[in-house]
Amino acid sequence: MNVQNLTKKYDGKAVVDTVSFEIPKGKVTSLIGPNGAGKSTVMGMISRLIAKDAGLINFEDKDISKWKSKELAKRLAILTQHNNIQMKLTVKELVAFGRFPYSGSRLNQEDYDIIDQAIAYMELEEFRDRFIDELSGGQRQRAYIAMAIAQDTEYLLLDEPTNNLDIYHATNMMKTVRRLCDELGKTVVLVLHEINYAAFYSDYICAFLDGKIAKFGTVDEVITKETLSEVYKVDFEIMEIAGKPLTIYY
Amino acid sequence: MTFIRKYTLTIILTVLLVVLSVWSIFIGVIDLDLKSILQGDSEQVWLLLVSRLPRLLAILCTGMGMSVAGLIMQQLCMNKFVSPTTGATISAAKLGILIAFAFMPSSTIWSRALFSFAFALLGTWLFVWFIQRIKFKDTIMVPLIGIMFGNVIGGITSFISYHFEMTQALSSWETGHFSMVLRGRYEIVYLVVPLLILAFLFSNHFNIVGMGKDFSSNLGVNYKAVLFMGLTIAAAITASVVVVVGSISYIGLIIPNIVAMFKGDKIRGTLIDTALFGALFVLVCDMLARVIIAPYELPIALIIGIVGSVLYIMMLMRRLKHGRKAVRLASHGGGGCQ
């Protein structure tokens, strides 16, 4: 996926300003930056949830707005935090919606197999007939990921997947992200607030500041004292744990 | 075995509905008896075909239609308290009928239905547009706005009816009843049947849209188109019921909620039960209406109003007691339609 001069304006003010980058295939890329830096808006635009004002988004060599929404749904899945959580659907019913772009309302045996595999992959077997509104935040998040797995897309976009999760569930979520990339070969793009998760579990990081890209590169290139201090406007120290950079801010 | 367990509720409802339907045919001022019908007693057969059977069919269509219209509206608006009553659909449908009466005195039932449908659609859309604009923090606010909006439309309706001295004509639609259902003037209510089939075919679409705008886009479902289609179906069902039997509240509000308590929100799994239960509810209320002060009869809207409001209050209490968390969390996703 290749993005050129992407721009979004709200009330005449550019929240995303001529942003260009390319998402590396088969890798985990994290979008980081302070609030209002434009990272979630970029995520919305590259997943066709938000309309862009200017620029080009090429997805598999074709302008994303030229893709049929249903075809795109077979290649790119996006999970946001804005889902109706009151709905009494069972985990199985939710995951089954992942097959909707393929089979609509008429699921075949292959679809059911994929649904079962996705539920097993996220270790949700014991919850398969439970209603999602009765699950904990972490379990519900896993159910949504299982749906995205059933959707069987090459690209998976996650908007703040660790939001509202405690340390245990957030860490497990990040491990899952890593597995989805390493085991299933997916290209994962995340919006993250927690820099250390980004540093530890991503391959590439894109740091946003005031609607522009401050730095895009490998983890080691971006997680530096200078870049992070510039982006977040606080003092940083970088340490190393298990060969990965660990940030401390104060 | 699993088949039977999965469909227990459906089977029970179907059996009850069939038994009560047959029984209801034999309730009325003139006694009908099976033997003389089978012997071909022309007067009895005539009564059956002209009055009792049409009435039964109208009741079944009303119950099924209104409860499914409510189910669709609740899903699309992500709010358990939205229905044709609390979403201004019924009051707008009535306004449509009155306008047809006032400005086209020679209007047929079909043109009145068309007016009623157009107004119901417009009213529902206005309401949904409004609650989308203003994102409420509390789920309870949405139906309250709807009731207020419905009363404003009701006020306009009353004004027009006084102005054109049509209050008497209006009163026939004000409280719904089945006593005017006779052969030749109720058939429009059959429109409910194809609309229900349509709703069933698109039930997964409604579910997906009910999960939110982002959720639908992710699955390649056109949020706006499905929202528009669902509300159109709900408005068309409401209009075809209101034009024949008048306004009957609460069915669309209560029935889907009761069924969802047992069977969840997956429409594919609940639509048939909701329709059956709705039909059963209206049928029982109608039988009560015919029996309580026999040989006279009470308007069914009165019985449903009493039973419905009690159930509605119970539902509210239950929500407030057990569902406080759910009510508050709803503000995350925006109180109403997104």
Looking at residue B328, its pLDDT comes to: 37
Residues of A with CB under 8 A from a CB of B: 47-49, 68-74, 77-90, 93, 97-98, 100-101, 104-105, 131, 133, 151
Backbone angles phi, psi at B166, to 5 degrees: -120, 20
Report CA torsion sign: B135, B136, B139, B144: negative
What value does the mean pLDDT of chain B take? 84
Chain B hits for A155, CB-CB cut-off 8 Å, are none
Distance (Å, whole) CA B122 – CA B304: 26
Would the CB atoms of A100 and B330 count as touching at under 8 Å? Answer: no
Residues 6 or more apart from A127 whose CB is under 8 A from it?
A91, A135, A139, A143
CA distance B273 to B148: 31
Q: Are A39 and A120 in contact (CB under 8 A)?
A: no
Residues of chain B positioned with their CB less than 8 A from the CB of A81: 332
Burial class (CB in 10 A: 0-12, 13-18, 19+), A161: buried
pLDDT at B4: 67
Q: Could you tell me which chain A residue has the CA closest to the CA of B79?
A: A86
Give residue B59's pLDDT. 93
Residues 251-290 of B with CB under 8 A from A: 260, 264-266, 268
Write out pLDDT tens, residues A141-164.
899 999 999 999 999 999 999 888
Q: Does B204 touch chain A (CB under 8 A)?
A: yes
**Rounded CA separation B123/B117 (Å):** 10
How far, in Å, CA of B300 to CA of A77, rounded?
Answer: 50
Distance CA A197, CA A205 (A): 11
Q: Per residue in A71-114, pLDDT tens? A: 999 999 999 887 777 788 999 999 999 999 999 888 999 999 99
Q: Is pLDDT of A118 > 90? A: yes
> Quick check: bond before B295 cis, omega within 30?
yes
In the beta sheet, which residues pair with residue A106?
A: none
CA atoms within 13 A on the CB side of A3: 24
Is pLDDT at B6 greater than 80 in this prediction? no
Give the integer Cα–Cα distance in Å for B261 and B29.
39
On chain A, the residues whose CB falls within 8 A of the CB of B204 are 97, 100, 104-105
CA-to-CA separations, B156 to B120, B152, B162, in angstroms, rounded? 14, 6, 10
Instruction: Name the β-bridge partners of A30.
Output: A190, A205
Q: What is the pLDDT of residue B226?
A: 94
Q: How far apart are CA B146 and CA A244, in angstroms?
A: 56
Tell me the per-residue pLDDT of B306-335, one tens digit each, with 9 for 90 and over. 888 888 888 778 777 665 444 333 333 333
Q: Enumerate the residues of chain A whose CB falls inside 8 A of the CB of residue B214.
A: 49, 78, 80, 82-83
pTM above 0.90, yes or no: no
* Token reading at B147: 């009731």
A191-209 tens-digit pLDDT: 999 999 999 999 999 999 9
- Render B19-45 in DSSP notation, one character per residue: HHHHHHHT-SSS---HHHHHTT-HHHH
Q: How many whole angstroms separate alpha carbon A201 and alpha carbon A165?
A: 17
Contact A83, B331 (CB under 8 A): no
Smallest Cα–Cα separation from B203: which of A76, A134, A77, A89? A89
Cβ burial of B66 (10 Å; 0-12, 13-18, 19+) is buried
Residue B137 has pLDDT above 70, yes or no: no
- State the complex-level ipTM: 0.89
B63 in Cβ contact with B280 (< 8 Å)? yes
Which neighbouring-strand residues pair with A155? A76, A187
Q: Which domains does chain B have, with CATH numbers?
A: 2-169+186-329 (1.10.3470.10)
Residue A83's contacts (CB-CB under 8 Å, 6 or more residues apart) are A144, B211, B212, B214, B215, B333
- In three-state secondary structure terms, B177 is coil
Query: Nearest C-alpha of chain B: how many angstroms from A161?
Result: 15
**Beta strand segments in chain A, E:** 2-10, 13-22, 28-32, 54-59, 62-63, 76-79, 155-159, 187-191, 204-209, 212-218, 236-241, 244-249
Distances (CA, A) of B275 to A101, A229, B15, B68: 28, 61, 14, 6
CA-to-CA distance for B94 and B8, rounded, in angstroms? 38
User: Could you read off the pLDDT of B78-127 as tens digits, one per residue?
Assistant: 888 888 988 889 999 999 988 888 888 777 888 888 999 999 999 999 99
pLDDT given for residue B331 in this prediction: 35
How far is Cα A83 from Cα A81, in angstroms, rounded to an integer?
A: 6
Tell me: the pLDDT tens digits for B220-233? 999 999 999 999 99
Q: Are strands A54-59 and A62-63 parallel, antiparallel or unpaired?
A: antiparallel
Residue carrying structure tokens 């569930």: A169
Per-residue pLDDT at B136: 67
